[in-house]
Each structure stands twice: as C-alpha cells, then as structure tokens.
C-alpha cells in the first residue's frame, strides 16, 4: 500500500511539474519563471517575529521589589532581593522584566505554542489552557536568575464559568533551561494546585500561583474524553512536509485547546502523532500553515474523527496574518 501511494505521488509530481513548466514558459524569451515553493526558514522566522512583537517590557528597581500588570491583566510580583546574576550575586538597580500573555488559539498558532503536555508515563496528551506566559528578567541585556526559595507570585484572570476551573494546575516547559521566548515547548505539570478566588473588586475569578522559574509557564488542566481513541494522519499537498509547514488540530467547543502534529512519517509522507489518544467521534478542524513568497498560506478543514482517520488536504490558499487570525477566531 505504501509503495502504491509513493508511486502515485511520483506520477502526480511529474504531471504537475510538466504542466507547470509549460505554463511558465515565456513565449518570447523561452525563459522558465521561478516556481514559488513553501519556505520553511521564512515560516520559523514568522513564529519568531510574532513572539518578539508580543513581548511586553517593564522597568523596575530590583531592591524595591517588582510588581507589574500586563496588557491582558496578568500580575507579577517579585520580592526585594529575588534576582541574582549568573554568579549568584544579588542584583540591585534597574531590571527589565519581559512578559508575553497568550490566551487564545490564534495566538497559540502564530507563536507555535500549542497545548500539549507530557504525562507521567511519558506520553503526550492535550491540555485545556487558562493562559500561557513567558516571563523573564535581564539587566543590561544579561540574563538574570531567581534566588533559591524566592520565586514570584503569578495572578491571572479566570473565567468563573469555565468548566474544570478547580482542576487547573501550574505547568512549565519541559526544557526549563531554555529561557528564550521562541523555544519549542512541551508542558510538564508542577505539583502545585492553584488557588482560585475572586478579584479584589469581586468581579470574576482569579488564579493565584507561585512560580520559581523564568521561561514559559502555563495554567492548564488535562483534556479528558471517555470515548475510544485512535491515531490520525494528515496527507498534505506535494511539496509540503515537516520542514516547511505546520499542521494543527483544533478541538471544536474548546477555545483554548490546540494540538500540533509533531511526527512526520517520511515513508507515508503524512503528518501524524505518536500517542494515539484522539477520541473517535470528536469534532475538530485541521489547520495547515506555511509561508510561500513571504506570505501566509493556509488550509482549514472540519471533520469528525473516525477510526484510523486520514485527512487529505489538497491545497493551500494565500492569506494575511489579520485574515488568518479572524479565521481561527471564527472556529467553533
């Protein structure tokens, strides 16, 4: 079956190439014009640029303690004497606090910060996020660290009507040593149940947590569905693979759940996932994103997951970042 699929794809590629070459020939000069192909480096740069643009910067005096509030209401409180340099010396003077707040699927997609965590048995499973945060501190461009036992308080607005609000936990990046904002992230649970309460003015809910690491932090709960599970595959158009596009899975009805296909089968030429935990009967949307000629290209397809599901994506269409954000926000 794999051999037949590869043979068919080879014939299809040859047919497309011949047709394209004929169509691209200039009748006057017999010059063949460039064929625009997906650009993996440009896609990674788009992710990095989005992350950099999302950074908020705050300046504070280390010995006075630091308290800041982000544009989306996230509050950070550092105590006096909390910062050290690389040699362990206590830092005084002005420090630069970096904060990124991510709360919805569009932001997760454009930053490539999806909601997948590693369970105790090593498997990867989907999470429902209450917010993803990058938090860091520097002085004169040099990385700072937290004094042992002196972390910081993280206060995040919560939707009091959110299902499972009391099940939320604190998660951090599996690679805690990576303090760059554009790091790849796999979330691991911290054994700390969040406190949930009202805001000081009594409006809505609030998560209270104590964190002791810089880098990426997430407030999540594990996604749970009792239905039988299956593995799924995504067949993308010719010319696309794991080097130049990203394939996502959006869970319908879950505004803060976005998974990424992190496995590419080079023999089958399909994206898949290595854990086989997608519920049969689940309603989802498949999303593929790439960059062609410095412009976003995408496809979005709705589906109901069947056993050993194979989703075939035939083509991608050009779009702008603003249009892509709106398309993601409009998903069920």
Mean pLDDT, the chain, rounded, equals: 88
How large is the average pLDDT for residues 156-172? 85
Residue with token string 């299902």: 163
The pLDDT, as a whole number, for residue 159 is: 77
* 1: pLDDT strictly greater than 70: no
* 133: pLDDT strictly greater than 50: yes
The pLDDT, as a whole number, for residue 23 is: 40
pLDDT tens for 65-96 read: 999 999 999 999 999 999 999 999 999 999 99
Confidence of residue 34 (pLDDT cuts 50, 70, 90): low
Characterise 81 by phi-psi region: left (phi > 0), alpha (psi -120 to 50), beta (else).
left
How large is the average pLDDT for residues 149-161? 87
Say what percent of the chain tops pLDDT 70: 87
- Indicate the pTM of the whole model: 0.87
Contact 220, 169 (CB under 8 A): yes
The pLDDT, as a whole number, for residue 295 is: 97
Q: According to DSSP H, which parts of the chain are helical? A: 2-24, 40-54, 105-111, 321-329
Strands (E), 223-294: 229-230, 233-235, 245-251, 258-260, 263-265, 270-272, 278-279, 283-292
Residue 256 burial by CB count (10 A; 0-12/13-18/19+): exposed, middle or buried? buried
The pLDDT, as a whole number, for residue 164 is: 79
- The string of DSSP codes covering 61-119 is EGGG-EEEE-TTS-EEEE-TT-EE-TTSPBP-SEEEEEEEEE-SHHHHHHHT---EEE-
């Amino acid at each position: 079956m794999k051999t037949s699929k590869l043979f068919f794809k080879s014939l299809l590629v040859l047919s497309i190439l011949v047709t394209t070459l004929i169509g691209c020939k200039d009748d006057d000069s017999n010059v063949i014009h460039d064929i625009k192909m997906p650009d993996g480096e440009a896609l990674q740069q788009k992710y990095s640029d989005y992350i950099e643009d999302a950074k908020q910067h705050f300046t504070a005096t280390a010995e006075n303690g630091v308290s800041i509030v982000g544009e989306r209401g996230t509050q950070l409180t550092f105590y006096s004497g909390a910062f050290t340099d690389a040699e362990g010396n206590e830092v005084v003077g002005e420090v630069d606090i970096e904060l990124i707040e991510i709360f919805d699927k569009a932001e997760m997609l454009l930053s490539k910060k999806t909601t997948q965590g590693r369970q105790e048995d090593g498997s990867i499973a989907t999470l429902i996020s209450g917010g993803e945060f990058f938090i860091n501190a520097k002085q004169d461009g040099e990385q700072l660290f937290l004094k042992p036992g002196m972390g910081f308080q993280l206060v995040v607005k919560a939707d009091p009507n959110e299902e499972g609000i009391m099940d939320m936990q604190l998660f951090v990046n599996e690679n805690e040593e990576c303090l760059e904002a554009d790091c790849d992230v796999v979330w691991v649970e911290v054994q700390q149940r969040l406190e949930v309460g009202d805001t000081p003015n009594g409006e809505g809910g609030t998560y209270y947590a104590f964190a002791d690491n810089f880098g990426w932090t997430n407030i999540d709960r594990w996604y749970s569905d009792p239905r039988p599970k299956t593995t799924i595959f995504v067949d993308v158009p010719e010319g696309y693979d794991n080097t130049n596009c990203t394939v996502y899975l959006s869970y319908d009805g879950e505004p803060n759940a976005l998974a990424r296909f992190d496995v590419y089968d080079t023999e089958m030429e399909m994206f898949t996932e290595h854990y086989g935990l997608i519920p049969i009967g689940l309603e989802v949307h498949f999303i593929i994103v790439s960059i062609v000629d410095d412009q976003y290209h995408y496809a979005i397809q709705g589906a109901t997951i069947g056993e050993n599901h194979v989703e075939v994506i035939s083509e991608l269409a050009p779009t702008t970042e603003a249009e892509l954000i709106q398309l993601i926000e409009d998903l069920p």
